[in-house]
Amino acid sequence: MITDTLLPELRTRFADRRLHSGTAPNEVAIFPAAHPDVGAVTIWDDGDEATVGIGEITHGHFNPYDNSLSPEQIARRVTEEVIEFLEDLFADRVLLWKSPDGRSGGWRVLTSKTNDSLKEGSNLTYLWSGPVRNK
């Protein structure tokens, strides 16, 4: 159900991003990497949520967690959340991080505040365009 709503929106919104339809089970779409250190974005339909993976760095789950919603409403809400996240990601407004040993990772949307740090402790940090070089 999510794929039926999400995939057409991805094709429309990100036509210039060389989107490929997924081939593995539950794989909705793959966006090729903008930088090899970051990796490709892969989106999976997990039935009641979508999972967005970013290379070997991290992944996120998109689900409204509202049992009162119909499957169609869930699909629409998940689609909106994934589209919004990808717009931020592709515009370098999402800071990605992973631990030096690669065992943990995460992400956060950067705000418009000028004091937003591009550093996450001793972790390796990235934007969609590539690694963040901290001096």
Q: Model confidence over 60-76: pLDDT tens digits?
A: 999 999 999 999 999 99
The single-letter code of the amino acid at 3 is: T
pLDDT for the residue 114: 46
What's the whole-model pTM score?
A: 0.90
pLDDT for the residue 135: 44
> Can you spell out the DSSP letters for 20-84?
EE--STTEEEEE--SSTTT--EEEEE-SSSEEEEETTTEEEEE----TTS-HHHHHHHHHHHHHH
Dihedral sign (CA 70, 74, 80, 83): negative
Q: How far apart are CA 40 and CA 128, in angstroms?
A: 9
Q: Are residues 55 and 107 in the same domain?
A: no
Contact by Cβ (8 Å): 97, 105: yes
Final residue before a domain boundary, out of 57, 73, 90: 90
Q: Are residues 9 and 69 in the same domain?
A: yes
Dihedral sign (CA 76, 78, 81, 85): negative
Q: Are residues 74 and 104 in the same domain?
A: no
pLDDT for the residue 119: 66
Q: Are residues 52 and 111 in the same domain?
A: no
Q: Which residue ranges of the chain lie beneath pLDDT 70? A: 113-120, 134-135
Q: Are residues 29 and 79 in the same domain?
A: yes
Q: Are residues 68 and 41 in the same domain?
A: yes
Q: Are residues 27 and 66 in the same domain?
A: yes
Q: How far apart are CA 55 and CA 58, in angstroms?
A: 7
Q: Are residues 49 and 84 in the same domain?
A: yes
Q: Are residues 26 and 71 in the same domain?
A: yes
With H, G, I as helix, E, B as strand and everything else as coil, classify residue 16: helix
Q: Are residues 81 and 99 in the same domain?
A: no
Q: Are residues 80 and 21 in the same domain?
A: yes
Identify the domain containing residue 74 by its residue range.
2-90
Q: Are residues 70 and 101 in the same domain?
A: no
How many domains in the chain?
2
